[in-house]
Amino acid sequence: MRVRRRATLWSLALSVVLAVAVTVSAGVGPVRIPPATVLRVVANAVAIPAGVEFGTAGAGPLALPRLGVVYQSPFAFPVDDTHRRIVVLVRLPRILLAALVGFALAAAGTVMQGFFRNPMADPSIIGVSSGAAAGAVAFIVSPVALVGTLWIPGVGAVDVNLSHGAGVSLFAFAGALVAAFGVYAIATRRGRTPVATLLLAGVAVQTFLGAVISYLQLQAGESLRRIVAWLMGHLSGATWSEVLVVGLVVPPLFVVLLGYTRELNVMLLGESEAQGLGVDVERTKRVLLAASALVTAAGVAFAGIVGFVGLVVPHMLRLVVGPDHRVLLPTAALAGGTFLVAADTVARAGATELPVGVVTAAVGAPFFVYLLDRREVYEL
Amino acid sequence: MSDEVSATDDGANDEADAEHPVVVRDLAVSYGDSTVVEGVDLTLEAGSLVGLVGPNGAGKTTVLRAIRGVVERDAGSVRLDGAPLETLSARAVGRRVASVPQETGLSFAFTVRAVVEMGRTPHRGRFEGPDASDADAVENALARTRTTAFADRPITELSGGERSRVLLARALAQETPALLLDEPTASLDVNHAVETMALIRRLVDDGRAAIAAIHDLEMAARYCDRVVVLANGRVRAAGPPDAVLDADTVHEAFDAEAFVGRAPATGGRAVTAYPSADAAAHRVHVAGVGPETARIVARLGAAGHDLSVGVVPAGDAAALAAADVDATVVSVPPFADVDESAQATAVELAECAAVVVAVTDGSGTLTGAIRERADLVVDTADPPTDETLLARVAAAAGSDA
């Protein structure tokens, strides 16, 4: 009971912090917008279903009757339209993407550190980041442009253009999952996946993919700049559809991870003891690996390699709320979202925009040294 | 030998097996190419404590791990409450057997209560919070192991003894019919060791069943209803401690010479082990009384010599030791005069012995008749060490031959 209350209270508090960070961040930029205005813009943008309407979809003989929902905003605060456009179309998608990616990376990092019982573990340890990088770089370097038109019955013609961001993200996502599955397959023998083998298989795959990425960079020519930008992590040019995709992928998987927090605690005792306490260790490992690989993949596919969030944030929160994953996982995830929102705000606040990965690493590395100095990391 | 054991001791049929918390039949486990245990039979009945004894590497821990399904079996069957292990989910196993490890790998600052609460894992659904039965089980477990006082302290701050009690509490919170304990007293000092064993004994008396891997033979003899002696992955002997823990079994299992006597304080078996001397066995007659004679009888008996002892007063330390090593004893009632026939018997035994050891302590029991024949005279004021004693007996036997 007490654990649940602690988890709830901490999560509420950190949600408030995250909301404040998002609001403040939306006001920062070349055009300064006061937080109150940001809140009004957001309130105006809130849409609630207000009714239904009938219409038709398609054309000609394929026209189908269709039921539509009418949305209406309950608020109509007077807001400068330029401010509205800046907040809704430019800043909010980027900020929310940062929040979701930070959330995803910190959640996956917490799970990986507990899973490996290793303080140096982070989401990249099972090859997810390298796989994403290899996929993204391969796509950027390759001359293929996936442009075409899909005809989806009932919806109509949809233009598909994968030559830009979407293609990179798709390839990064696929690369991440292929690499993670590869690591898992290499480390699994007769239905058992020893954690130590998994760790080493991860290192091997990462090293190999590192070679692939280096080679591709040599061949990149004009695309090199884009590759470097992607590899350092970036959130610029985020769109609402990206937010939507990450927002659809991450929360359900996070709920799955939340369902395994007790197992994660028990797994800290060691696999043999966990088994003795009635945990199906191999199945739990598969679920945790798959869920955190997907969560990480969703994050890095859109934001590139953002380092240190998944490593440092769980450590920070462990110092504050303790090692119990029932409290640690939700709080670390929320703090990760806040951390990346703050880091990205710093990254874009200056005269020239920095890659967000540079900011997180620049903040994260010294903090990690501080942790080492306090010897806290030895205790996970 | 294990076949014989299973036939006589565990000779229950399958129907009876169904009622026992743990039944292991013909278990074999190997790691890679090396077979660790083979042909192990073991039955744990409700309300009984079975001690699994044997030297390091005998396979005790492996047997425990196989019962929990943590290691793969090459052959054999394990049934928990009648259900074959392979048909049970990890959760179902966790509700049937709880295991207490030697040490926990837990170096995280979980509170004691949180650790004990982990024992409820097999009883709770994924998104369920703890209910009243969970809370009760946790509080009970804390109370029984007397860990309530530090329930809110981080486990990392506890001493070794306290930590092992917490691990036991965690297993109790699992509320399983059977407990598996891996060296529950190995890291404890003597008072905590005894306290822990007494607690386990009480739990068993209250109806639980427990298997404990124990290397301390006296502890096993004192607290267990039955002991199973493992050596080189096989069952060497199984049965009540008094029947099983004899010098031969200990010698065979541990490759150590042992004197198995009776601990006066507990009435249980007292096992004194010696390094294996590997000396040839001889007929040895020992004459003398008192503790020093008893020591010599115990050591020579453990070394495998065929002993006769006398004349000694019944009830003397030497007489008790002689009985424990199955020596031929010539005794007279305490405080009685040595009668002629006893004296004659003793002399005759001494005559046909390869070596005669006389222990002088000036009590007069040792008569000249035997002292004259003594190859080796030991003065209680300046007793030889075990090694010297064995060497001198061997030398005397050699010169005789």
Q: What is the ipTM of this complex?
A: 0.71
Pairing of strands B34-44, B269-274: unpaired
Q: Which residues of chain A neighbour B109 with C-beta distances below 8 Å?
A: 322-323, 379
Which residue out of B31, B61, B70 would a mutagenesis test of the A interface target, given it has the greatest number of A Cβ atoms within 10 Å?
Answer: B70
CA distance A362 to chain B (A): 29
CB interface of A with B, residues 41-70, below 8 Å: none
Pairing of strands A147-152, A156-161: antiparallel
pLDDT band at B5 (very low <50, low <70, confident <90, very high): very low
- What is the three-class DSSP state of A51? strand
Span B135-160, average pLDDT: 86
Task: Walk along chain A (380 residues) and give the pLDDT tens digit of each residue.
Answer: 577 888 899 999 999 999 999 999 988 888 888 888 888 888 887 777 777 777 666 666 666 666 777 777 777 778 888 888 888 888 899 999 999 999 999 999 999 988 888 777 887 888 888 999 998 888 888 766 556 666 666 666 666 555 566 788 888 899 999 999 999 899 888 778 888 888 899 999 999 999 999 998 888 888 888 888 888 887 887 888 889 989 999 999 999 999 999 889 888 888 888 888 888 888 898 899 899 999 998 888 888 888 788 888 898 888 888 888 999 999 999 999 999 999 999 988 887 888 888 888 888 888 778 777 765 544 44
Q: Cα–Cα distance between A340 and A311 in angstroms, integer?
A: 13
Contact check, Cβ <8 Å, B101/A273: yes
- List helix spans (H) across chain A: 2-27, 35-45, 81-85, 92-116, 128-141, 165-187, 195-218, 224-232, 240-259, 261-267, 271-276, 281-303, 309-321, 325-349, 356-374
Measure CB to CB from residue A278 to each of B93, B101, B129 and give the nearest one.
B93
- Is B139 an interface residue toward A (CB < 8 Å)? no
Q: Cα–Cα distance between A353 and A349 in angstroms, integer?
A: 7
| Distances A148 to A126, A158, A163, B62 between C-alpha atoms, Å | 34, 9, 10, 62
CA distance A322 to chain B (A): 7
- Is A319 an interface residue toward B (CB < 8 Å)? no
- Is A164 an interface residue toward B (CB < 8 Å)? no
Q: Taking CA atoms, what residue in B is nearest to A272? A: B70
Write down the residue that tokens 């005789």 correspond to.
B400
Please tell me which of A210-214, A238-242, B185-189, B298-302 the model is most confident about, judged by mean pLDDT.
A210-214
CA distance B209 to chain A (A): 16
Tens digits of residue pLDDT in B380-391: 778 888 888 888
Contact check, Cβ <8 Å, A272/B65: yes
Q: Is B80 left (phi over 0), alpha (psi -120 to 50) or beta?
A: beta
CA distance B171 to chain A (A): 8
Specify burial of residue B110 (Cβ count, 10 A radius: 0-12, 13-18, 19+): buried
pLDDT score at A157: 64
- List helix spans (H) across B18-156: 60-68, 90-96, 112-117, 132-144
Q: Cα–Cα distance between B31 and B73 in angstroms, integer?
A: 10
Give the residues across from B258 on adjacent strands: B273
Please list, in sequence order, all residues whose beta carbon lies within 8 angstroms of the beta carbon of residue A275, skipping any fewer than 6 positions away: A281, B68, B69, B70, B90
Specify burial of residue A60 (Cβ count, 10 A radius: 0-12, 13-18, 19+): exposed
Find, among B86, B82, B11, B73, the residue nearest to B41 by Cα: B11
Please list, in sequence order, all residues whose beta carbon lies within 8 angstroms of the beta carbon of residue B5, skipping any fewer than 6 positions away: B41, B235, B237, B238, B239
Contact check, Cβ <8 Å, B68/A276: yes
Does residue B357 register a pLDDT over 60?
Answer: yes
Span B265-270, average pLDDT: 72
Q: Taking CA atoms, what residue in B is nearest to A378? A: B107
Q: Cα–Cα distance between A163 and A167 in angstroms, integer?
A: 6
Half-sphere exposure of A270 (CA within 13 A, CB side): 12
In chain B, % of residues over pLDDT 90:
2
Chain pair A-B, CB pairs under 8 angstroms: 85
- What is the three-class DSSP state of B268? coil
Q: Cα–Cα distance between B87 and B82 in angstroms, integer?
A: 11
Tens digits of residue pLDDT in B198-239: 888 988 998 889 999 988 888 888 888 998 988 888 888 888
Q: State the average pLDDT for chain B.
A: 81
